[in-house]
Amino acid sequence: YATIKGFGEYGPQSDYKGFEFVAQAVGGAMATTGHPDRPPVSIAPGVGDSGSGLHAAIGILAALHKRERTDKGQKVEVSMQ
């Protein structure tokens, strides 16, 4: 099976809530947009959401491929941050 969390399964920030704009802000993407005297502006919507979903799908496919060869399942963990 697979999980997607904003800040991963383990570590000091693992219980933090995360979604698209949080990932953009914490990851530094918002620091590259907008003007210094105005609030941050998000980059294209859905980059973090679709990116983490895509990485999860690729991880799931790789895990399924390995299961076919080894008969062992895996857990796929993806972090937005």
- Please write the tens of the pLDDT for every residue from 41-78: 888 777 888 889 999 999 999 999 999 999 999 999 99
Compute the radius of gyration of the chain from its Cα atoms.
16
pLDDT of the residue at 32:
87
Which positions are annotated as active-site residues? 49
Residue 29: pLDDT band with limits 50, 70, 90: confident
Distant-in-sequence, close-in-space partners of 18: CB < 8 Å, separation ≥ 6: 5, 6, 7, 26, 80, 81
For residue 76, what pLDDT is reported? Answer: 97
Question: To the nearest whole percent, how much of the chain has pLDDT over 90?
Answer: 53
pTM listed for this prediction: 0.80
